Amino acid sequence: MPVHIVKGQTYYTQFVIRYEKNAFPTTNYRHGASIPINTAVKLLDINSSEISIEYGNGLPLLVKNIEKHTGDDVFHVV
Protein backbone atom coordinates (compact mmCIF):
# COMPACT_ATOMS: atom_id res chain seq x y z
CA MET A 1 0.00 0.00 0.00
CA PRO A 2 1.40 3.46 -0.85
CA VAL A 3 2.64 5.36 2.21
CA HIS A 4 0.34 8.34 1.60
CA ILE A 5 -2.75 6.14 2.12
CA VAL A 6 -3.58 5.66 5.82
CA LYS A 7 -6.35 3.41 7.20
CA GLY A 8 -8.57 5.25 9.67
CA GLN A 9 -7.77 8.61 8.04
CA THR A 10 -10.49 11.00 6.83
CA TYR A 11 -10.48 11.78 3.11
CA TYR A 12 -12.85 13.75 0.89
CA THR A 13 -14.63 12.56 -2.24
CA GLN A 14 -13.33 14.17 -5.44
CA PHE A 15 -16.47 13.43 -7.45
CA VAL A 16 -20.10 12.43 -6.89
CA ILE A 17 -20.33 8.73 -6.00
CA ARG A 18 -23.46 6.91 -7.20
CA TYR A 19 -24.07 3.59 -5.46
CA GLU A 20 -26.59 0.82 -4.83
CA LYS A 21 -26.79 -1.74 -2.00
CA ASN A 22 -23.82 -0.10 -0.20
CA ALA A 23 -21.52 -0.75 -3.19
CA PHE A 24 -19.96 1.50 -5.84
CA PRO A 25 -18.54 -0.39 -8.84
CA THR A 26 -15.97 1.56 -10.88
CA THR A 27 -17.87 1.19 -14.14
CA ASN A 28 -18.81 3.77 -16.75
CA TYR A 29 -22.49 3.96 -15.77
CA ARG A 30 -24.12 5.39 -12.65
CA HIS A 31 -27.40 4.76 -10.86
CA GLY A 32 -28.74 4.66 -7.31
CA ALA A 33 -28.21 7.01 -4.36
CA SER A 34 -25.40 9.55 -4.37
CA ILE A 35 -22.70 10.92 -2.10
CA PRO A 36 -21.85 14.55 -2.99
CA ILE A 37 -18.42 15.82 -3.98
CA ASN A 38 -16.22 16.91 -1.01
CA THR A 39 -17.99 14.55 1.43
CA ALA A 40 -15.80 13.41 4.34
CA VAL A 41 -15.23 9.63 4.32
CA LYS A 42 -13.22 7.44 6.67
CA LEU A 43 -10.98 4.81 5.08
CA LEU A 44 -11.60 1.47 6.82
CA ASP A 45 -9.72 -0.94 4.58
CA ILE A 46 -8.10 -1.10 1.17
CA ASN A 47 -6.64 -3.81 -1.04
CA SER A 48 -5.85 -4.14 -4.73
CA SER A 49 -9.50 -4.62 -5.71
CA GLU A 50 -11.69 -2.93 -3.05
CA ILE A 51 -11.89 0.10 -0.76
CA SER A 52 -14.09 0.01 2.34
CA ILE A 53 -15.20 3.42 3.68
CA GLU A 54 -17.68 5.01 6.09
CA TYR A 55 -19.49 8.27 5.42
CA GLY A 56 -22.18 10.29 7.15
CA ASN A 57 -23.11 8.73 10.49
CA GLY A 58 -21.06 5.57 9.99
CA LEU A 59 -22.77 4.37 6.82
CA PRO A 60 -20.67 1.71 5.05
CA LEU A 61 -19.71 1.74 1.37
CA LEU A 62 -17.62 -0.72 -0.61
CA VAL A 63 -15.83 0.66 -3.68
CA LYS A 64 -15.23 -2.25 -6.07
CA ASN A 65 -12.57 -1.73 -8.72
CA ILE A 66 -13.66 -3.27 -12.03
CA GLU A 67 -10.22 -3.48 -13.64
CA LYS A 68 -11.51 -4.05 -17.18
CA HIS A 69 -13.20 -0.60 -16.94
CA THR A 70 -10.49 1.30 -15.05
CA GLY A 71 -7.46 -0.41 -16.57
CA ASP A 72 -5.68 -0.24 -13.20
CA ASP A 73 -5.59 -1.57 -9.65
CA VAL A 74 -7.34 0.26 -6.82
CA PHE A 75 -4.18 2.07 -5.66
CA HIS A 76 -4.12 4.02 -8.94
CA VAL A 77 -7.87 4.70 -8.85
CA VAL A 78 -7.77 6.52 -5.48
For 19-52, what is each residue's pLDDT tens digit?
888 877 676 667 788 899 999 999 999 988 889 9
Query: In the chain, pLDDT over 70 holds for what percent of residues?
Result: 77
- DSSP state, 40? E
Determine the Cα–Cα distance for residues 24 and 31; give it in Å rounded to an integer: 10
Mean pLDDT of 48-76: 81
Determine the Cα–Cα distance for residues 39 and 41; give it in Å rounded to an integer: 6
Given this model, what pLDDT does residue 21 score? 83
Is 54:15 a contact under the CB 8 Å cutoff? no
Determine the Cα–Cα distance for residues 75 and 78; give it in Å rounded to an integer: 6
Is 77:49 a contact under the CB 8 Å cutoff? no
Given this model, what pLDDT does residue 11 score? 95
